[in-house]
Each structure stands twice: as structure tokens, then as C-alpha cells.
Structure 1
Amino acid sequence: MLFRRLSLCLSLLLLLPLTALAKGFPHLEELADDGFRIGAEARLLGNGEPGETLGSLSPGQQLTPASVSKIYLAAAALDRFGPQHRFTTRLVGATEPDAAGVLHGDLILDGGGDPALTTEDLWRLVQRLHQAGVREVTGRLVVSQWRFGPVSCLTVDRCEGQRRVDNAYSALLSSAAVNYGNWCVTVAPARTAGAPAVVTPCDGQRELVRIDNRIETKPADSGTQLSALRVTDGQGDVMRVDGQISTNAYPRQLYRTSSDPADQTGRTLMAMLEQAGIPVAGGHVTTTLEPPAGAHRLAAVDGKPLQELLLRTLNYSNNFMADTLTLDLATGARPSLTQGGDAIEAFAGRLPGHGPLRLDSGSGLTPENRTSAAGVNVLLEHMFRQPSLFPSFVAALQSPSNGVMRFIRRGPAIFQDHVMLKTGTLNQPVSVRAAAGYFRTLSGRWGVFSVLVNGTGSTPYLNWSMVLDRLSEDLATMIRAH
């Protein structure tokens, strides 16, 4: 009789939904009742051996990680290049300048795939070109994006951004892009109310992009509301700015992605050369051809160390930087973004026990990306055990108590002060909220956690409070208990 009862109990247990067997995530698993697909795992890290699992909720389920994909990119980049690697941008010519400072032929910008190349870097290039004795260029300024670019778009935002865009996060990709692939304009009030606002480029006085100014100056303390739309017509890009700014408001900057990052770089650099008194007779063009093998280096600028690039990429979840680094990881000529993802997959494939992984981008903008909570934790543990790489890796994550993303400042203080994490968000085609990172228990032990929450076509709207409030309570319990 007792045996039959035990058998019946076991049979009933096996019939329970998988979520009912969840361990350690009692608050988080409430989302499953609304139909959300959830994968979660939290475990302590042992001394060279698998640590104790503190929480588990369908950890092997393949789900969309959104921007948690960026931790794969960061790990693969550190593994390939090392924390102190810098990407170099060069100015080269077929010849050296003559005694009078004339460069006969083209001046070529060799785009080095620096994801954080800025106008400040271009100014350094121009200064070093001047120091090299160049005073005139008889040919053209040629912007070479031979490493990669233009890159085929894989997401709706980037594809639509080739014609019009109202955001700064979906920038198109090129190895010769500057300022994260964005145009920037500064909006300042006129002196008198009723007059059009003063709208100028952020980088000098020359009009780098056409401006359609529809902003009106309002009386003091009237408030400032600005919007911007970049559209592209037969003559190129136009920044269409609208709204109002009060007479006592400080100037504001507006950023919108360009339709051709390499051309944007050419326009910006041409204006700087002109200002430095180095005329370029033939204007500027872009090319996908590599500079001649025997080209002379005239000037060069090294970008920021990779460890600093990763901090900016992950802290601000910068999609342009992430996907540029993804392309830097790819092998072969003129790779696609998917080929860059293949390189990250190959890195993760060498981690014992990781399991399946699909990354069409390192940014996580591609909703087809797939991994599991257990797989993410394998990656996190691997990086923890790399003494020369881990400090740079963990520094790129955020502490909820003082991270730049204010929405993560939720939950108990013990969660905010004992966790470092990366979050991920998508709203189309389904809602995604994901988080992964490290925690420290009260006894000082390290642990890893990953949570992937995916909606479906029939689930309600998913916001961060629904996930972080629950996750913070569950992790706080684990931190206190150990």
C-alpha cells in the first residue's frame, strides 16, 4: 500500500508543469502564470568544480537574450584582442609630400574599425598630417571602408534607417564611421521670442548635413520640447528639427543616425582639413577598396583601449559599438554581421557544457539570437576563471546602486550592492527582458545568475518592474542565505 502511494505521488509529480519544479525563484516564476517563457539559473562558483545551484527555472530553454548578447561579444573580444588592444585609423598617400608640402594624388583615410572614433580623433589626424608637412592635396580625400561597410541591415530599424530615422541607436555600420554613425546638431534659443531657434552642427560652423529648422524660440520659462527626424532625399541627408526652446534655456544637442557613415566621415574630415588650411582639390569619395600595398603612412591615431570600449559598450548598451566590434572579430574580406556572430559562436563553442547558441549580432538587436540561462552562466564562470581578463570584463557590468541606467536601481539594498549585471530589452516582435551577471554572498562567495524572459503574441505587456522587482527579491534571499 505504501509503495503504491509513493508511486502515485511520483507519477503526479512528473505530471506537474516544469515551472512548478522551479527552485530558488519563487517570485520570478510568477511570470509563468501569465504565459511568459522563462529560463533562469543562479549558482555559486566552486573552487575549480561546479558550485551549488541556488535557483533553476528551465535553464536549458533556448530564448532570445536581447542585449545580454553583448556579454558574449565582450568575452570573445577580450579573448581575441586582450584588454589593451587599440584600433588604429590612418591617413595614407601613394606618395609623400614634396618639399612644398604638396601631396600629389589622393589622401586616403584607412578606416580601422574603431567603434569609438570621434571628431576629436579626426582633429588629431589632421594635426598630425600638418606636422608631417602636408599643406595641399592635388587629388581627392578617399574614405576607405575596405574592412567592412556598407553592411547589409538585418533589423527593421536599421533597414528603415537608410531612408529616415528618429533615433540614434540604430546606426548603420562601417569600419570608417565617426561619432557612432550619428549626425549631431546643437539647438540654441534666439535672443527674442518668436524667432527661429539657432541650429548649427556640433562640430564646427560648416554645414555638414542640411538642416530643416522648424524650432521656434519661446519666452523665458516656457519649456523646451524638441524632436528630430533624419530623412534622405536625392541630395543626401537632412536633419528636420521641430519644437520649441525658451529664451533662457541652455543649448541642447540632438543626434540622429546618418544614412552613409563613411560619407559622413568624409564630409567631417573635409571640413577639418579646410579649417586647418589643407585644401583638397578633388573633394571626397568613399570606396570599399583597400589602400595600395605600398601606401605611405602620413598620420595615425590609436583609439581607446578595448577595456574602455567595452565599458562604454555594455554600460550604455551601445548597439553601434557592439556590432562594430562584432565585425572586427569576423574573419575574411568584407564580412557580414552574421559572420561576426559566427566568430562569437565559435568562441562560446569551445566552452565545455555551453550548449546551443545563435548570435546573428553581438548587439542583440537581432531577435533571432538564441541562448539559454545555463549557457550564459557557463560563459560567466569561464570569464571569472580568466585572471588576466576578468577585471576588465566585470568592470563593464553595472552595479544597480550606481549604474548609469537608472531603471535598474530597484529592489532591496542587498541586491543593489551585491550584484553586477547586464540587462537586455526588446519589444518587437515580442517583449524580452533579460539580465545576467555576478553576485557576492554575505560570506564573500561569488555566484553567477542569468534570467531570460520572453513574451509571446498573447502575453501582456512586459516592463522592467515586473522582472527586476521579482528577480531582486529572489537573488537577495540567496545572497543572505550564504
Structure 2
Amino acid sequence: MRSKAIAAALAAVLLAVLVTLVHGSWKGERLGARADDGSGRVAATAAPPVLVPVSGDPAGATPTEAGIRAVLEPLGRTTALGAPPAVAVVDALTGRLLYGANQDRAATPASTTKITTAVAALTAPGPDHRITTRVVPGPTPGTIVLVGGGDPTLTALDGRQYSGYQPARLSDLAAATAAALKASGTTQVKLQYDTSLYTGPALHAIGVNENIAPVVSLMVDEGRVDPTVVGKESNRVPSPGVDAAKKFATMLKTAGVTVDGAPTPGTAPGGGAPELASVQSPPLSAIVEQMLTVSDNDLAEALLRQVAIAKGQPASFQGGTAAARQVLEGLGVTYGASNLKDGSGLDKENRLTPLTLVQTLSTAASGTHPELRRALTGLPIAGFTGTLTDRYGPNSGAADAAGVVRAKTGSLTGVSTLSGLVRDRDGRLLAFAILADRFTGDPDPARAAIDRMAAALADCGCGTAG
């Protein structure tokens, strides 16, 4: 391993960059962001290069296939992984395959699936897209309709609980709606809620689970029973649309408009009915970053449906995955035997090849797609952020790679995966995917083995000039 002093220095540099990326406002202080004056208008700013080389030639020495094999394969033969994992390593800036071991095998990807969801969403509908939740006059006099647009960030709280983005607030929508109603002399209404934007089953294939709410186009605080539990597992309400409508009715009353009876399901009238009020989500770029860093399943499934809508597909699990595949193949990514069932990776029937993952990352790292940068800046940093915060510690056997590896994790029963970016000893930027889905028992040894493999790439001085 490279010296601890060098690793510590690299970690410090990356952490300083991280502070700028994560703790700056999503309104323009992050890498490659766009300035926002609060009116919803955005002005493009120059996107600086992402992951500038640590030192030396930007290209660096290219690792050889034999060199990578020599450092990875002994680590992959551990019994902790059950069987050698499916692995691919590419030169991130050129997309050239440097090493593969079962790189075309469609393995269970778990939450590394979110990398494909992120890139698809940043392509269509794009990083600046915002999701609108609106209120319109209903089909009968004295009725209003709360229309879900699929915003997974909409909150019934004050918004201060969310560190990754500033969410749209249901209270703001209620206040604006009440003001519009009172201006027309109305202080009592019937309330309907419209969740018709999404089609197909709302319940994920894994069933009722604290890791994900029913996927509907209207919800607040990701359908959590306790909305103050942010970024953690939590019990979910069975009908998020009903929950959101009830909270909206309470807020309307606080704002001076009484709702007659309980909210009922309905559909907004067609023909471009004028809005009474609306609120917008943060740009998808901010949602993508948050989704990747904390591995948020609700954000992932909502993003997948935005991809479906943008590509003219049904806003469902099936329509979303078909649309995401269309987008990725349009970017030149080899889909091969990959076959996804969702956008979050919770479905154990998902299949992705390591090659699909590394090509997706390489595309995001290329200079021709600056709109995809947030798919990289959202990746957790080993030992510091998100789902990698508690990994690459002092006794992990991979501590020297803390702050150097930047990757998306994945965990299901019998599955541990890691896919992301790393700079090797020579400064070459590598994209890698390590998918282990054939082990049993305790997942911690499998995660540790995969972390050591990624760390070995960081320490790989196994290149030749050229």
C-alpha cells in the first residue's frame, strides 16, 4: 500500500472538495451547478472538470491487463465472496476495457442499479428539470384538486431536516392556494387528490417494507409514518396520496380555508385548467446527488418515472426501466444481458453486467457529457460520506484508500456490490464494478473483501506509459 501519509493527504484534498460539493447550497455553489435567483430561472455556468488528476499527467500511465489481474484476482478468491465476483475495470476517460472477469455476466447489482437511474435521469429529462406539484379548480364548483407530479422531495415539515437539497414545502402550497381562494371570496372547499400520473403497481416487488413507500405520484416525506426520520429506514404509510391530501387539508385550515369532509380521489380536469398554486422540486441534479449519496430508494423510483415520462413511456416500473435502457443505449452503453426491474436495485431479479456499469460511469466522466457530472459527484467517498462513511476504517485492510475511492454500494441478502471511480497510483482515473452475488452468511466479510479490491486498484502502480 502507498504510504499512510500520502493517503491522508489525498483524503484531505478530496474532503475539502467534498465540503464545497455537499455543504454548499444546491442553488449554484456545487460543481457544475447552475445559478438560480429564486424565480425558477437558471443561468448556465461553466462546469469545471470533475476529479482533476491528483498529480502528474492527466492521462497517467495506463494499467496493463496483467497488472490489474495480479492485484485483483487473489483478493477475489476469498471464501467470503462465495465465488469470484464479476468484475470490470475501464479507463474512465476513454472507456477502454482494461480488465474483465465475467464482465458480461448479468449479476444482481443491488443498489449499484442507482448509477444507471442517475445517468438516465440526468439525460432525460435532464439536470435542470424540476417537478411541479399543483392545485387546480376541480370538476365541480367549490372543489379543488391537489395534483401529484411525482416530486419525491415534497415535505410537510419546514425543510430544515434535509441537508442534501431544499425541498418543496406543502405548507407553501397550502398558503398560496388559500390566498388564491380567498382572493375570489372562497373560504370553504371540497378537496380531491390526483395520483393518476403513475401507472402499474404502486407496491414494489419486495412488498411492504420500511426501505420504500408505495410508489405514487403524490407523497410527502417519502410516505414515512414519522416524517422526522430523514435518511433512515422508517415505517411507511399504506396510502401516501391520502396522507399527503390530509396534511394539505390541515394546512389549508391553518391558512384560513376549511375543507368540507375528507379528501377524496379525483382527476384534474383536462383542457389546461388554470393553476391556483404550485410548488417545484429542486432540480433533478440535486435529487440525483442525494439519491446516490444516501442510496435513497424512494428518490430512485421517482427519478425512474421522470425518465419514463420524458421518453413517452408509461410511468411505471416496467415503463421506467424500458425508458432507462433506451437512454443508456442512446449514450452508447452496452446493455447486453442486463435486465432491470426497478430503479432502486431492491428487486433481487435485477440483472446488470459489470460492463454496463463501468460504461455508464465512463460516459458520465467523459468531457462530452457535462450534464452527467452529478452522477459522479453524488457517489459516496470512502470513509467520509453516505453509505461509505463507516467503511475503509483503520482495521479494514483498505484504510489507505479512504478518501480515494468514490463509489456506489449495493447490499441485499447474499449480494454485495461496489461500482465507482478511483485514481490509481499513477494518476489514471479508473471506473470499476465489482459484483458479488453468490455468497451466503454474514455480508460484512464480503463487503470488506470488495473494499480491499477497490483499494488495490487505488494502490495499483501497474501501468505502462501510453
SS of 1:422's equivalent in the other structure is strand
Q: CA, structure 1 residues 154+179, in 2 after alignment: closer, same or farther (shift >3 Å)?
A: closer
1:361 is matched with: 342
Say whether the 8 Å CA contact 1:151–1:174 is kept in structure 2.
Answer: no
2:246 is matched with: 267
Say whether the 8 Å CA contact 2:425–2:458 is kept in structure 1.
Answer: no
Is 1:70 aligned to residue 70 of structure 2?
A: no
Tell me the CA shift for residue 290 of structure 1: 4.1
Kindly, what percent of the aligned residue pairs are identical? 25
CA distance in 1, matches of 2:257, 2:200: 28
CA distance in 2, matches of 1:283, 1:353: 50
Aligned residue identity for 2:194: S
SS of 1:70's equivalent in the other structure is helix
Among residues 373, 379, 387, which one is paired with 1:391 in the alignment?
373
Say whether the 8 Å CA contact 2:418–2:435 is kept in structure 1.
Answer: yes
Say whether the 8 Å CA contact 2:224–2:236 is kept in structure 1.
Answer: yes
Q: CA, structure 1 residues 404+304, in 2 after alignment: closer, same or farther (shift >3 Å)?
A: same
CA distance in 2, matches of 1:461, 1:434: 14
1:336 is matched with: 316
1:246 is matched with: none
CA distance in 1, matches of 2:404, 2:457: 9
Aligned residue identity for 1:265: A
Is 1:85 aligned to residue 129 of structure 2?
A: yes
Aligned residue identity for 2:100: S
Is 1:300 aligned to residue 272 of structure 2?
A: no
Among residues 421, 426, 429, which one is paired with 1:438 in the alignment?
421
Among residues 97, 101, 105, which one is paired with 1:61 in the alignment?
105
Q: CA, structure 1 residues 395+374, in 2 after alignment: closer, same or farther (shift >3 Å)?
A: same
Say whether the 8 Å CA contact 1:139–1:282 is kept in structure 2.
Answer: no
1:375 is matched with: 356
Tell me the CA shift for residue 33 of structure 1: 8.1
Among residues 304, 312, 330, which one is paired with 1:326 in the alignment?
304
Aligned residue identity for 2:324: I
Tell me the CA shift for residue 109 of structure 1: 0.8
Q: Structure 2 matches for 1:178-257, cutoff 5 A? A: 178-184=220-226, 255-257=234-236
CA distance in 2, matches of 1:115, 1:480: 44
Say whether the 8 Å CA contact 1:104–1:137 is kept in structure 2.
Answer: no
CA distance in 1, matches of 2:270, 2:425: 60
Tell me the CA shift for residue 292 of structure 1: 3.1
Aligned residue identity for 2:92: L
CA distance in 2, matches of 1:74, 1:479: 31
CA distance in 2, matches of 1:52, 1:479: 17
Q: CA, structure 1 residues 442+291, in 2 after alignment: closer, same or farther (shift >3 Å)?
A: farther
Tell me the CA shift for residue 422 of structure 1: 0.4
Higher relative contact order (CA 8 A, sep 6+): 2
Deviates more, 1:385-394 or 1:418-427: 385-394
Q: Structure 2 matches for 1:347-358, cutoff 5 A? A: 347-350=327-330, 351-358=332-339
SS of 2:380's equivalent in the other structure is coil
Tell me the CA shift for residue 23 of structure 1: 4.7
2:459 is matched with: 477
SS of 1:360's equivalent in the other structure is coil
Deviates more, 1:278-287 or 1:106-115: 278-287
Say whether the 8 Å CA contact 2:294–2:386 is kept in structure 1.
Answer: yes
Deviation digits for residues 48-106 of structure 1 (CA, Å, limit 9, x no counterpart)? 4x5461x43221211000000000000000000221211011111149xxxxxxx9421
1:466 is matched with: 448
Aligned residue identity for 2:406: M
2:29 is matched with: none
2:263 is matched with: 284
SS of 2:77's equivalent in the other structure is helix
CA distance in 2, matches of 1:111, 1:266: 10
Say whether the 8 Å CA contact 2:145–2:268 is kept in structure 1.
Answer: no
CA distance in 2, matches of 1:149, 1:277: 35
Provide structure 2 residue ranges, at least 5 long, that are not aligned to the other structure: 1-67, 159-168
Say whether the 8 Å CA contact 1:424–1:432 is kept in structure 2.
Answer: yes
Deviation digits for residues 434-472 of structure 1 (CA, Å, limit 9, x no counterpart)? 11011123443211111000025xx44332543344324
Provide structure 1 residue ranges, at least 5 long, that are not aligned to the other structure: 1-20, 96-102, 187-201, 203-252
Q: Which has the larger radius of gyration?
A: 1
Q: Structure 2 matches for 1:94-113, cutoff 5 A? A: 94=138, 104-113=141-150
CA distance in 1, matches of 2:137, 2:111: 40
Say whether the 8 Å CA contact 2:425–2:460 is kept in structure 1.
Answer: no
TM, length-normalised to structure 1: 0.71
SS of 1:256's equivalent in the other structure is coil
Q: CA, structure 1 residues 279+34, in 2 after alignment: closer, same or farther (shift >3 Å)?
A: closer
